[in-house]
Amino acid sequence: MNTSAIADRRRPRAVPFGRVERELDQLWAGLEGPDGAAQTRALMANVVAFCRNRQEEAAVVDDIGTIVARHPARVVVLTAEAGSEAHEVEALVAAHGWSGDGGEQLCGERVMLRTGGQGSRSLPSAVRSLVLGDLPTALWWATPEAPPLAGDLFTELAREATQVIYDSMAWTDPLRQLVVTARWIATNGGQATSDLAWRRPKLWRRLIAQMMDPALAPGAIDNITQVDIEHGPHTLTQAWLLSGWLAFRLGWQPRGGKVMAGTEVSWSFEWEHGTPTVNIRRLPEGESEIRSIRIATRVNEQPVTFRFTWAEPGRLQGVAEGLSDRVVSLTGPVQSRGALVARQLPDHTRDRLFESAVALARTMAEAVL
């Protein structure tokens, strides 16, 4: 009985905007939990997702189930279609359920607000009336555009949020968009900000730090001369942020950079131990992810090359050629976009390492623009 009731409430219902809150209350009314008790409205966050068209909206709706199963939330999906002349805001309400051993339970609610380009001016006030004031609010910029490029709309929506989540992976002009976003992050007044392109290479950062630990490879960090990164399509910002992380942690200062043949970018740096270079090359096809990293250095005055590659999906491996035949592996789940957003939602504090890596990546970008 409970399963069929939730299934019915999953179907989006068009309602007048003024009745949205009443409809949300009715989604929970009369539902029983697995023990027969009434289900309580135990939500942990507001998530405001911004889209530019129905295709992006559909992708967000597909992700919501994953998000609310891990982090129960009220999700407000905003769709502002620039090509539409609609001024009014169309509202739809639906529930999200989660299937577990105890049966299906309600774990989230969704409000969809649709309008045209001109109607987008009313979205910030609509959001203010819908978010639950006692819960943190995350603004998820679920569109392949640098958030600050949306101007006042983004500024107003971000002002109401405790954190901003975006994904630079599909940016069409990644270098210029990175610079614009980095400037905003540097002056945004303290909000927690996260790029999903920063979370995806986490396993790479862990393995590099582990294998080049001074206790295991004395002098490897201080003697780096060259770093080569290869990545698939639409993955430049991941490689860029990884380079920014490495340069920041080691204290490298960019000296200059250049774009070569449209698929490769190269920088030179300076620091107290020398003038290392970083080369990032885009492969013409394949998975949209970092594919390999090569770091040339010296250990005990002998040349050593650290190579990092995927052994299989979810398992990254590294080897230190010239130092050891041992292969070191780290495993991690292959996470969907929805899973990445869900993992980010509990992090309400600023990630200083991410901000520093973005700031240095901005300097690198400005050097080649």
Question: What pLDDT was estimated at residue 1?
Answer: 40
Question: Is residue 339 a part of any domain in this protein?
Answer: no
351: three-class secondary structure by DSSP: coil
pLDDT band per the 50, 70, 90 thresholds, residue 52: very high
pLDDT band per the 50, 70, 90 thresholds, residue 95: confident
Boundary residue ending a domain (148, 167, 197): 197
Boundary residue ending a domain (197, 221, 245): 197
Question: Is residue 59 a part of any domain in this protein?
Answer: yes
73, 143: one domain = yes
116, 212: one domain = no
Question: Is residue 64 a part of any domain in this protein?
Answer: yes
Boundary residue ending a domain (167, 197, 227): 197
169, 31: one domain = yes
What Cα–Cα distance (Å) separates residue 277 from each residue in 96, 245, 292?
49, 14, 16
Question: Is residue 347 a part of any domain in this protein?
Answer: no
85, 169: one domain = yes
Pairwise CA distance, residues 240 & 221, whole Å: 19
149, 165: one domain = yes
273, 148: one domain = no
Question: Is residue 211 a part of any domain in this protein?
Answer: yes
59, 173: one domain = yes
125, 269: one domain = no
Question: Is residue 343 a part of any domain in this protein?
Answer: no
Alpha-carbon Rg for the chain, nearest whole angstrom, is: 23
Number of domains in the chain: 2
Question: Is residue 357 a part of any domain in this protein?
Answer: no
CB distance 256 to 262 below 8 Å: no
CB distance 66 to 338 below 8 Å: yes
N- to C-terminal Cα separation, the chain: 61
CB distance 131 to 137 below 8 Å: yes
Pairwise CA distance, residues 298 & 212, whole Å: 11
Mean pLDDT of the chain: 89
Across residues 51-77, what is the average pLDDT? 94
The CATH number linked to 106 is 3.40.50
Domain that holds residue 56: 2-197
202: three-class secondary structure by DSSP: helix
250, 289: one domain = yes
Across residues 5-25, what is the average pLDDT? 82
The CATH number linked to 296 is 3.30.360
- The pairing of strands 103-116 and 90-100 is antiparallel
Q: In what order do the strands lie in the sheet with 290-299?
A: 253-260, 264-270, 277-282, 226-231, 290-299, 302-312, 315-321, 327-331
192, 215: one domain = no
Question: Is residue 45 a part of any domain in this protein?
Answer: yes
Question: What pLDDT was estimated at residue 3?
Answer: 53
116, 233: one domain = no
Within 10 angstroms of residue 301's Cβ, the number of other Cβ atoms is 7
Query: What sign does the CA torsion over 175, 180, 184, 186 have?
Result: positive
pTM of the predicted model as reported, rounded to 2 decimal places: 0.92
Largest CA distance in the chain: 73
290, 308: one domain = yes
**pLDDT tens track for 181-204:** 999 999 987 789 999 999 999 999
Pairwise CA distance, residues 335 & 161, whole Å: 25
**pLDDT tens track for 232-274:** 998 999 999 999 999 999 999 999 888 876 689 999 999 999 9
